[in-house]
Structure 1
């Protein structure tokens, strides 16, 4: 709390001095939080906007805290797009403060809550990992396009064109994902990861998903959690388990050792991208590339 208060004071001072026109070089100045949202905004906004993403590859949004430099970027932005549903839990105080003075938009708020997975770990009471449902990502794409068009009507047709092209790519991605998963027998579709980031993926594509740390990486897995999951792996003869780029590897390695101690061998099937994309400039640094990589890794390891 001691660190949060100075940041909020800094935020108040910056907002009070904020200029009415923040656009850089005539372009809409957009700030984003997660890498998934940054990638989406770039796909829709193209070269007509200026985008600054706060989080990079491998960054855990559950634990991310705003620096003074971040606060400066946020308050000088024409619009801030964030995921919402308390994914960026440590930024909530900052967003609440900004809500009275700036244009902050939680993209997940466009989704019908009736279709979301419940969660006791988040203040929103919903699992925030909605990007693993491509249909949800398409809804968010349309919502983002609408919001950008309101802010920059002169480029509305350009945004709409980019949206149409991107939605076609998402349709192709969904088709490819289903074809790849169809090669994996249903009884082998058990996905064990460091934390429960893949429940929307599992529900959509027919996987049983088990995360060692629950929905939030802010919760620690206990010895009993490891033992219980080890027994499930042995009972169902799970061939492989997976680490995540934004979660320490040691949690899954501990699980692997617990399984080994019971006389069963389970492999680490690879590293999945869960709460962040891969490095910028790589295929995995895009939403579509990340999704494709994850599915290929999961299917090949579990066959």
Structure 2
């Protein structure tokens, strides 16, 4: 199932949860309401705002319960008329699938070839850093290049979404704690990142980190350890790898992080990028005003954004 956030173009309203049904986008909460009405659960239908959130952040924060119910919603939509709450792709604006997660945990140097192009050794432990929600944008927003960020770089990353509270989780059970997966572009201001030992200032600038276009639920994704991952800039291929090349696999990362930090539903983990980033090229090729980054991950789709100098 492909879960997304959307709003009608030109609408001042907030982002709402939706899902893909064929080529159309369907409102998730309103379909759930129809399902409850069809089952004569009138009280539940009337309490949809509480029981089945339309707000994307609240939805994912509710965890496995609503993800499982969303599967029932999809089955209902396939078998019933939901045309009145369905939209053509061109009618809606897609936002980040999770606009304000409580934690955005990122992993650096998690592909050996990328570590090498950054003139770094393969790390003994996962290199963790954080982003904040101010950085997140969706698949239709502009990547803002501020005057302070001279050397802006792209990084294609498989991004995992936590589905239930995870503390001291063993790697054998780790994938059971994931709600789904999306694409993340860990945009990095290399000049700001490298001017101190701590990377934060170059990693979480306002409106610089696209995620999306949707979250593919774990049941539909299959094994996240065998996915092709690719990026282009203005149509030129820059990165091409598979998640088999991850130094620290997703189960390892869930175990490692959850021993240090309790992960909550809706938290996201950006798992690292393969070689081919702009900084690693000779000479370096950083993003400019008007450049278009396009990231593709097998079984998820394509995330495309334009860079805009601000």
Larger Rg: 1
User: Higher relative contact order by CA 8 Å / sep ≥ 6: 1 or 2?
Assistant: 2
Report which of the two has the higher share of strand.
2
Report which of the two has the higher share of helix.
1
Instruction: Calculate the TM-score normalised by the size of structure 1.
Output: 0.27
